[in-house]
């Protein structure tokens, strides 16, 4: 057993025998998700009064599994400890906001980041700069305070904002990516098909955005 395997075994042992601190940390992440989710729900309600509908179609939340966290620590060569997770893994807590239109993504992101208790840690715009696979989404790593009986604690949350079309594509791509027993030829064909379908979702988003913009101009 090498050094890293030994460290992993030791950390797994800590998780099994000292679940208290682990569960406490995960509770903090769940609280941080609730804070961010509430902020988006408030914005959605406000915009329903200002505009002709709610910009948010759905909100999904998740906490990374222990297995996913450990694999990420190992992949990045980061020490196996709770402190290391807190300081280095920024997507333990995640929230996905699915919007009706592309402009709504940037509108919601701007209003979220304008709030004085939100700190932007990292921004990756895969809408303007899609991944080679065709994946599109706006990713934000934000820091938000949670207020505990012992005081305030700053927690990081990954926020993903995407349209319905982007979410549909990403969901199918995720399922196909883990298909086993595919030949190299099949994988290459799949890659090209997913890139092509991603371009279709771009056109769909742009055309739907154009329709909405035209409708609003007619109403003014």
Integer Cα distance of 96 and 179 in angstroms: 24
One DSSP character per residue, 116-133 reads TT-EEEEEEETTTS--TT
CA 100 vs CA 126, 171, 189, 207: distances in Å: 17, 16, 30, 12
Angle of helix 3-17 relative to helix 66-76, nearest 10 degrees, comes to: 150
Q: Which residues, in sequence order, are CB contacts of 126 under 8 Å at separation 6+? A: 135, 136, 137, 138, 139
* Active-site position among 87, 158, 203, 217: 158
| Helices within 51-178 (DSSP H only) | 66-76, 82-88, 102-113, 164-177
Integer Cα distance of 196 and 207 in angstroms: 17
Comparing C-alpha atoms, which of 213, 162, 188 is closest to residue 57?
162
Q: Are 173 and 134 in contact (CB under 8 A)?
A: yes
Q: 203 catalytic, yes or no?
A: no
Integer Cα distance of 155 and 25 in angstroms: 10
Active site (catalytic) residues: 158
């Amino acid at each position: 057993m090498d050094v890293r395997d030994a460290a992993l075994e030791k950390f797994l042992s800590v998780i099994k025998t000292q679940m208290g601190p682990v569960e406490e940390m995960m509770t903090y992440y769940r609280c941080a998700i609730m804070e961010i989710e509430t902020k988006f729900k408030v914005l959605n309600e406000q915009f329903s009064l200002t505009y002709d509908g709610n910009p948010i179609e759905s909100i999904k939340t998740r906490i990374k599994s222990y297995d996913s966290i450990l694999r990420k620590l190992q992949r990045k060569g980061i020490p196996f400890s709770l402190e290391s997770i807190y300081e280095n893994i920024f997507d333990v807590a995640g929230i996905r906001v699915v919007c009706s239109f592309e402009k709504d993504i940037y509108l919601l992101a701007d209003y979220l980041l304008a709030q004085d208790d939100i700190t932007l840690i990292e921004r990756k715009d895969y809408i303007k700069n899609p991944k080679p696979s065709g994946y599109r989404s706006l990713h934000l790593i934000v820091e938000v305070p949670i207020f505990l009986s012992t005081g305030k604690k700053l927690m990081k949350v990954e926020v993903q904002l995407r349209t319905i079309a982007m979410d549909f594509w990403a969901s199918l791509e995720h399922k196909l990516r883990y298909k086993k027993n595919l030949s190299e030829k099949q994988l290459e064909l799949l890659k090209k098909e997913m890139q092509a379908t991603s371009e279709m979702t771009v056109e769909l988003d742009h055309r739907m955005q154009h329709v909405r913009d035209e409708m609003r101009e007619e109403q003014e």
